Amino acid sequence: MKLTPVAKMTLVDMAEGKVREAIVESGMKVGDVLPGELELAERLGVSRNVMREALSRLRMLGVLESRKRRGMVLKEPDLLDGLAKVIDLPVISKPVKQDLFELRLIIELGMAELVFDRKTDEVVAELEEIVAEEEKESGGGAVVAPEVEVDFHTQLFKMAGNGTLMRFQSLLGPFFDWKKQEGEIAKFHESGDGVTHRDIVEILKEGTKAEFLEAMQRHLRPHVEWINQKRCES
């Protein structure tokens, strides 16, 4: 349960909360029209300026949309828009960045079963092309350039077939300093038993689900060990 101290709540916070509550309790649906700003202000007993600010926040979250002649209409927000607006700010602390790095690893390990269940020849062929491109550039080792590294893993996220997940991965993309990280992670690569992207593609094509799960665990192990060490240092 998250409680905000009463003293820190502004009138705008409260008006915003009341409108959110009213939407939840009335069970309004996408396309339903909200009362006008003036009416809402009167019913909540706040000034029109306060009301405008509160509604502006809900518009930013993607919950409301102003439509000509119809007024404010309820819409389905993109769940991760709020996260997208804060994730790249320089105020995010190191422990939270570590949480996010870990979260990406957790998701990639956990989605392996779905990736395998939902693979199609077409997307596996795309993955194979990415690997061929990588091999041209790196010479076939386990450590590849960060840019192609990201392409490979983005394709795996695509294969899992979960839109919210793909959006989350794309938000993390520009967030990490991959180049610096891959350099640091390189020294843990022995613990990954050298499972390369090529190995992963081959297992997706010819192997079993159990083999794929194990290959992903091994492939990501250097990253797990790196983040565990980082956690201990801080």
Q: What is the smallest separation between the CB atom of 135 and a second copy, expressed in angstroms?
A: 28
Q: What is the distance of C-alpha 218 from the center of its chain? A: 23
Q: Identify the burial level of 107 via C-beta atoms within 10 angstroms of its C-beta, where 0-12 means exposed, 13-18 middle and 19 or more buried.
A: middle
- Cα–Cα–Cα angle for 199, 202, 206, rounded to 5 degrees: 140
What backbone torsions phi and psi does residue 10 show, to the nearest 5 degrees? -90, 170
Give the span between the Cα atoms of 144 and 197, in whole angstroms: 9
Chain residues 69-88 in contact with a second copy, contact rule CB under 8 A: 74-77, 79-88
Task: Write the interaction track for a second copy spanning residues 142-181; mark x where CB under 8 A is met and - where it is not.
Answer: ------------------x-xxxx----------------
Contacting residue, 193, 217, 218, 230, with a second copy by CB under 8 A: 217
User: For the window 29-58, what string marks contact with a second copy as x by the rule CB under 8 A?
Assistant: xx------------------x--xx--xx-
Among candidate residues 193, 200, 228, the one with its CA nearest the CA of residue 216: 200
Pick from 44, 107, 145, 186 the residue near a second copy by CB under 8 A. Answer: 107
Chain residues that interact with a second copy, rule: CB under 8 A: 2, 12-13, 16, 20, 23-24, 27-30, 49, 52-53, 56-57, 60-63, 74-77, 79-93, 95-96, 99-100, 102-103, 105-111, 113-114, 117, 160, 162-165, 213, 217, 224, 228
